[in-house]
Structure 1
Amino acid sequence: MSIDTQIGNRSNTCTTRKRKLTKLVEHRWIDKHVSVLTFKQFYPAVVILLEFMMENGDAETSGNARAYLKCIADTDFIIPLFVVSKIFDITKPYSEVLQDKKCGELVIRPSIKCVVDTYLDLIQCYDNIENIGTYLTKLKYDKAKLDELQNDLEQFSHDNDVELKISRTSKHKTVELYLRHIYETFIQTTLDQLSYRFSEHQKILAKIMNLIPVYVVDRTVDDIKELVEFYKDDLSSDDNSVIYAEFHIWKNKWEKIIVEERPTNINETLIELVHCRSFFPNLNQLFELFAVLPVTVATAERSFSTMKLIKNCLRNSNDDDRLSSLALIHIHQQYTKELNVEDVVNEFCKDKRRIKFTND
């Protein structure tokens, strides 16, 4: 039986549509998820391939294949692989959403000159992150889930002829204790990272709800002090008393309006501010800040990735203007398709150059 047939037979149980392993990219969350989950699904095929290379490769290939096979068949590799895959199964959809280009996408209404829809996505994302944190906390102490994971691990080791054993130098006496330690540690690490990345921002973000007209009538100055302090450098006034005065006038304005007609989100609030933003400059700035606040830095990271592609070792002498222009063209390719090439060439030919492109 050929190696392709063996791998194909062992890979038929895979639920993934992929036909090759995914490269692990350190700087992208979703690529980490996909690479680990794909490797776990292709584990039987990887073992067969390494065994084939051991028997049919040259001395160097055979030695490397033997070393890799020993590593992936080790208990210190199998158990973390299972634990990480278990958690990544849960967090993968969230990483896909957070790194999607449409996450927190700015939508500009033709009728008003302001961005209006980002805030809703931001709130929803933070709510979902809070939900996943709560679920992972419960999962950490769920013995039934741990037992289920242990049974899956035993079945996996049996199907792939992997012997799970603890080394004599390990502080964990049994496989079960080692699995539990890795399981609880990785979940806690994930929770700590989620808290570090999102919780503080969510706490500040929630304060903006106190300024929404439907809620502001029941709020006091104490409810916005932390928000004002956090963004004081971005506001037009450095005098808190002025900002608090705006808050009182804003509150008084909506106390006279019936509940049904009060704006309930950033979208409606910014529309209402179009004609009176001059009277509430600081509050308007706060609303606009939250309207354009991105959910993640994925878009900025894509810009850096683009820069690395453009400014490589062969094109390292690009000046800032040329680099920025090329980056914009690469990032916003959908708009470049609408450009008239003839007009671009004509503008290019008008520049003063040593080589004359026209007779003008």
Structure 2
Amino acid sequence: MDKFLQEFGYLFNEVNMELLKNMAALSPRDFFSQFNTSKLLRLSEFYPYDFDDRENIKLELQLSLYHHSVLKDTKFANLKSIVDLSKMMVKTRKHLSYHLVYRLLKLALVLPVATASVERSFSVMKRIKSSLRNRISDDFLNACVICAVEVDELVNLTNEDVIERFQKMKTHRGQV
């Protein structure tokens, strides 16, 4: 894990690194050897809209109870990833008892996907809005970025679909 974190250090900024380190505290590997309440509470602080001060206090208590509960439950003994952990929590219905822990777990699962999507979108936007095209309107830029990001969906779009959509619009002047 330390090697991965060191390699990621070259790719991610300090905030992202802290998020990854705190997410590792949820890992069920080696029977929850990485579990750390203070890191998980710190992780929740990155989500102020999902965890207010009152919920953070409750989360601290839930984390302690949750940790003791999963250590005693043999169903959680051989889990390898937080995906497996989330599935087992639902299967054993612990997601209902420890709803704040489960919410934190869901946020940890979504974070890498959301971060990659946002980074990819900004990368595409940077290519589209070059110095030669820096005067395009926001609406046009938005349309170009959507087309560039959702290229897999555009492959399924036919010329006939575009023509039909255009003809249904009220603002055009003639038929295509």
How does the TM-score come out when normalised to structure 1? 0.38
The 3 A distance-change label for structure 1 pair 282 and 234 is farther
Query: What is the root-mean-square deviation in Å for CA atoms of aligned residues?
Result: 3.8
Matches within 5 A, 1:76-87: none
Of residues 207, 210, 231, the one that matches 2:22 is 207
The 3 A distance-change label for structure 1 pair 241 and 325 is same
Contact 2:26 2:34 in 1 (8 A): no
3-state secondary structure, aligned to 1:270: helix
How far 1:233 sits from its partner (Å)? 0.4
How far 1:265 sits from its partner (Å)? 1.5
Distance 1:344 1:244 in 2: 54
How far 1:278 sits from its partner (Å)? 4.5
Distance 2:24 2:101 in 1: 12
Contact 1:217 1:251 in 2 (8 A): no
Deviations 1:301-351 (A, max 9, x none): 313224405x926x73x453x432332112332331211321221111111
Deviations 1:186-215 (A, max 9, x none): xxxxxxxx59x5455434422333323345
Deviations 1:242-299 (A, max 9, x none): 1112213322331232277442312212323445445434323332333333379752
3-state secondary structure, aligned to 1:224: helix
3-state secondary structure, aligned to 1:227: helix
Matching of residue 248 in structure 1 with residue 64 in structure 2: yes
Q: Match for 1:340: what amino acid? A: T
- Ranges in structure 1 where 5+ consecutive residues have no aligned partner: 1-119, 131-193
Distance 1:303 1:278 in 2: 40
Matches within 5 A, 1:111-130: 125-129=4-8
Distance 2:18 2:51 in 1: 23
Distance 1:200 1:353 in 2: 47
- Structure holding more helix per residue: 2
Equivalent position of 1:344 in the other structure = 162
Q: Match for 2:7: what amino acid? A: N
Equivalent position of 1:287 in the other structure = 105
The 3 A distance-change label for structure 1 pair 216 and 286 is same
Q: Give the % identical residues.
A: 14
Distance 2:116 2:160 in 1: 39
- Ranges in structure 2 where 5+ consecutive residues have no aligned partner: none
Distance 1:233 1:280 in 2: 19
Q: Match for 2:80: what amino acid? A: T
Q: Match for 2:165: what amino acid? A: E
3-state secondary structure, aligned to 1:301: helix
Distance 1:219 1:280 in 2: 15
Q: Count matched residues.
A: 169
The 3 A distance-change label for structure 1 pair 281 and 312 is farther
How far 1:237 sits from its partner (Å)? 4.2
In terms of Rg, which structure is larger? 1
The 3 A distance-change label for structure 1 pair 213 and 354 is closer
How does the TM-score come out when normalised to structure 2? 0.68
